[in-house]
Amino acid sequence: MRTIGHFINGKAVEGTSGRFGDIYNPSTGEVQAKVAFATKAEMRHAVEVAKKAFVEWRAVNPQRRARVMFAFKALVEKHMDELAHMLSSEHGKVLADSRGDVQRGLEVIEFACGIPHLQKGEYTEGAGPSIDIYSMRQPLGVVAGITPFNFPAMIPMWMFGVAIACGNTFICKPSEKDPSVPMRLAELMMEAGAPAGVLQVVNGDKEAVDAILDDHDIQAVSFVGSSAIAQYVYARGTANGKRVQAMGGAKNHAIIMPDADLDQVTNELIGAGYGSAGERCMAISVAVPVGKKTADALVARLKPRVESLKVGVATDPDADYGPMVTAQHRDKVKAYIDQGVKEGARLVVDGRGFKLQGYENGYYLGGSLFDHVTPEMGTYQDEIFGPVLQIARAEDFDSALALPTNHQYGNGVAIFTRDGDAAREFASRVQVGMVGINVPIPVPLAYHTFGGWKRSAFGDVNQHGPEGVRFWTRVKTVTARWPKGGVRENASFVIPTMK
């Protein structure tokens, strides 16, 4: 059976801990590989290698670092199909979705290709008598990313693309459920011309995570995962003096106003709610129709569409979505559906009994649809992270606005309306980090920034875009004076001013 180790100092190496995790094929339920879990000593070795590589890499000028990014982008595009099949075999998402996973990561690599401009500082000539002031953005050193199972290509590239372009060296600790794509990306980064040690992949579980958070040479950590773990990573990392951005869970609402085009809304909700089996932090999981007439009409449209969703193996080009990542996660989502029924929500479509003929051991779950969900229900308060859409009816605009505003999560939200004034007011007042107006999944493009509010994000700086450059660098400001001649004999004991 294939065994996956680590990628350290420019090459794949075997793990030495003797501890391994199983990697499943979600479409069949079979164990297809084992992944080594790193020890603290193995992580420390990777840090030492990255620390040594940083000395060389930080001295490479931004234009040459950008050329490595251009070459890496071309290589990833060349190997797109290989990466997509690799991703689908371990995660379970359909191939078209896997290609989208890779492509959205590449968009951040494209952004990072502009690092010669993005990393420029500021300059003021003549700030005082013969005084000039300038600033520079310098890399932090060895940095790390802890990435989730649901986007094993996109999120690593979101992190290491900007970090490496800025001159840092990067250690990626991917999800132990699907580590093959990050390993392959590290190989391609070396092929693109990055020196050994610039990008390394260390696989593992909590022991590896804690080793990252505790290592004194790792300057910054980026994390994406559940809110409970995000809070843990933020607290432990910052307690150890690190810069930390930790993105957590979500409960994304879609507000449907009475004037919305319900046919468009239905299409958008089907894709945003059930795509990738709902395993997206930006999935729409709660639809909020305003008014009984709107709600009844929406449910009538959604019910047959959910019932007709095609669930299939990851390689089926006609499948709407594939299996869930593990049996444990599938069973967890089933338990949430059980809970919703007990709490009194109306289960309009029940996907719990779905079986795919010939693949009965795969981790499949049909689409489920709930109506009459209320804010006090546990299934509304929690992130289900599966192919389950909940309808929470609202009487008017203000009560609809209150639902995402008052929720513990604040990642993304959308409003569907033809009324520009209502959309503008909603975007201004809602307490959520990313807002879509007639856009169901408001993930900003790479040259903007990604990040939620409340328990969806811990830390003050978001991912990619200009915020990403700020996170992976620190500012140094220089005040310089070049006297015209002579030596000043009298010392000044007053703080310098520009009077």
**CA 362 from centroid of its chain's CA atoms:** 26
Q: Which residues contact 41 (CB under 8 A, 6 or more apart)?
A: none
List beta partners, residue 21: 35
Distance CA 249, CA 231 (A): 11
Burial of 128 (0-12, 13-18, 19+ CB in 10 A): middle
Distance CA 320, CA 67 (A): 38
Three-state secondary structure string covering 61-101: CHHHHHHHHHHHHHHHHHCHHHHHHHHHHHHCCCHHHHHHH
Does residue 329 contact residue 278 with C-beta atoms inside 8 Å?
A: no
Clarify whether 281 is annotated catalytic: yes
Coil, strand or helix at 55: helix
Distance CA 434, CA 127 (A): 39
Does residue 324 contact residue 363 with C-beta atoms inside 8 Å?
A: yes
Distance CA 224, CA 148 (A): 6
CA-only gyration radius of the chain, Å: 25
Return the half-sphere exposure (C-beta side, CA atoms, 13 A cut-off) of residue 241.
Answer: 6
The one catalytic residue among 113, 166, 172, 281: 281
Nearest to 302 by CA among 284, 316, 276, 322: 284
Q: Which residues contact 330 (CB under 8 A, 6 or more apart)?
A: 323, 324, 363, 364, 365, 386
Active site (catalytic) residues: 281
